[in-house]
């Protein structure tokens, strides 16, 4: 009789454990809930929507390599972008998007017009206030679990585009902030796995912005620090125009 009682208790415990596992799965919030929380804790939809331009100044360092640099970034609500960075011992690197044309000038690769999967990635990444329109930019999103990132329990949200590689975003369960992105980027050297850690959120004109981004790829760590971020500044006419060498490539 005692054995039967033990068996019943064991069976009941197993059933309870099974229900606990199912409950844990069901307890994972939907991706839209996680993304909406991130939008809210960083300022709210209305705060994002009111801004039409963005200007940032930044500093960059290849950690442990002795290479440093500084740069600027301009963006507008028409999804035009220009980013210029000058690296010590390397030179000036410009990347831009103008009327849907994605381009780059680099001392190592020269001028080029970006196409294919790399173009699609950059257009998606550079969408002004892109998180507000994530349903347009991604084919699907799924919350796949919980993982500890740098001491914080984070929800894992896998974002899958219509074409190309998915990326996994890690949002803090406690703060709702984005802590990490894991993705594969397309480059002239091929597809490269990258981890991006977003740190030190600070408020600029009602929006919380990560002021330090640490990117890990190919054994390198690249730290980018936002020294200043301004919204709704007047951007001079012609700022987003591609340089002459890019226009020549486009004319061919």
Gap between the Cα atoms of 211 and 78, Å rounded: 24
Which positions ≥6 away from 35 have C-beta within 8 Å? Answer: 131, 134, 141, 157
CATH architecture, domain defined by 30-251: Clam (2.50)
What is the overall mean pLDDT for the chain?
90
pLDDT 10s digits, 53-98: 999 999 999 999 889 999 999 999 999 999 999 999 899 999 999 9
- DSSP annotation of 30: P
Distance of CA 159 to the CA centre of its chain: 11
Q: Is residue 13 pLDDT above 90, yes or no?
A: no
Q: Is residue 26 pLDDT above 90, yes or no?
A: no
205-214 per-residue burial string, b: 16 or more CB within 10 A, e: under 16:
eebbbbbebb
Domain boundaries, the chain: 30-251
**Nearest CA to 183 among 107, 108, 124, 111?**
124
User: With pLDDT > 90 as the criterion, what percentage of the chain qualifies?
Assistant: 81
* 81 and 241 Cβ atoms separated by less than 8 Å: no
What pLDDT shows up at residue 36? 97
- Hey, what are 68's tokens? 């440093």
Regarding pTM above 0.75, the answer is: yes
Task: Give the gyration radius of the chain's Cα atoms.
Answer: 22
pLDDT-based confidence at residue 173 (cuts at 50, 70, 90): very high
What pLDDT shows up at residue 1? 45
What pLDDT shows up at residue 189? 80
* 56 and 226 Cβ atoms separated by less than 8 Å: yes
């Amino acid at each position: 009789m005692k054995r039967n009682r033990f068996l019943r208790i064991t069976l009941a415990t197993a059933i309870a454990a099974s229900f606990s596992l199912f409950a844990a799965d069901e307890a994972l919030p939907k991706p839209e809930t996680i993304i909406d929380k991130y939008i809210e804790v960083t300022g709210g939809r209305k705060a994002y929507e009111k801004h039409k331009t963005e200007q940032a100044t930044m500093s960059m360092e290849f950690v442990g390599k002795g290479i440093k640099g500084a740069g600027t970034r301009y963006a507008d609500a028409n999804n035009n972008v220009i980013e210029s960075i000058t690296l010590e011992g390397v030179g000036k690197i410009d990347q831009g998007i103008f009327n849907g044309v994605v381009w780059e000038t680099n001392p190592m690769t020269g001028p080029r017009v970006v196409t294919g999967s790399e173009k699609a990635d950059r257009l998606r990444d550079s969408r002004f206030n892109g998180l507000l329109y994530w349903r347009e930019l991604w084919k699907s999103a799924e919350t796949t679990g919980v993982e500890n990132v740098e001491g914080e329990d984070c929800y894992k949200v896998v974002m899958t585009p219509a074409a190309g590689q998915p990326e996994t975003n890690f949002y803090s369960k406690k703060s709702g902030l984005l802590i990490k992105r894991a993705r594969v980027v397309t480059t002239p050297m091929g597809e490269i796995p990258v981890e991006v850690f977003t740190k030190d959120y600070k408020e600029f004109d009602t929006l919380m912005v990560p002021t330090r981004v640490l990117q890990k790829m190919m054994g390198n760590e690249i730290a980018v620090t936002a020294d200043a971020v301004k919204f709704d500044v007047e951007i001079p006419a012609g700022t987003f125009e591609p340089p002459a060498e890019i226009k020549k490539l486009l004319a061919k």
